[in-house]
Chain A
């Protein structure tokens, strides 16, 4: 099972919006509505910010939103804030034999 493809980096200025893509195949992203996104600050454990493509766990600001089209899922961060600077990882369910696959991660820089 190959990793999902994410751009290595993304950036935006405070207040702007930025979108990060996550591309898989019909065996993972395209086959299920089970895509999650994680935020990870340096030296910290990942934090779940979206699941089932576009659902937010309690406490996650609505500035974080998700979508999916075909084999590509996307995370949009609106109204960028300094504390949004972090690594973002996507994951997808990949069936009962492989279960889960992650992307390579995207480093988001707030300019």
Chain B
């Protein structure tokens, strides 16, 4: 069964550093999403992406965040200057029609 692949599975970074989280969505999917889940809290929507542009973003998705689909297969989330409170599990998802698939997540730890 097709999968959404996320790399790395775990990343540790120093506060203030930039990180890029990578996702490979399912090839025929058209919509792409990033979510985060702070430990012990609920999943939160960050951004959705369609037709090479952001279609919706939440209040969390401020100027320190950006997304890109650089080569037609990867879908990346960049956090420019990480803060301690950015520590969370970040999930990528992709969809087409009613088919919706999550990746297994990247655990980001900011120290």
* Chain A bound to chain B: no
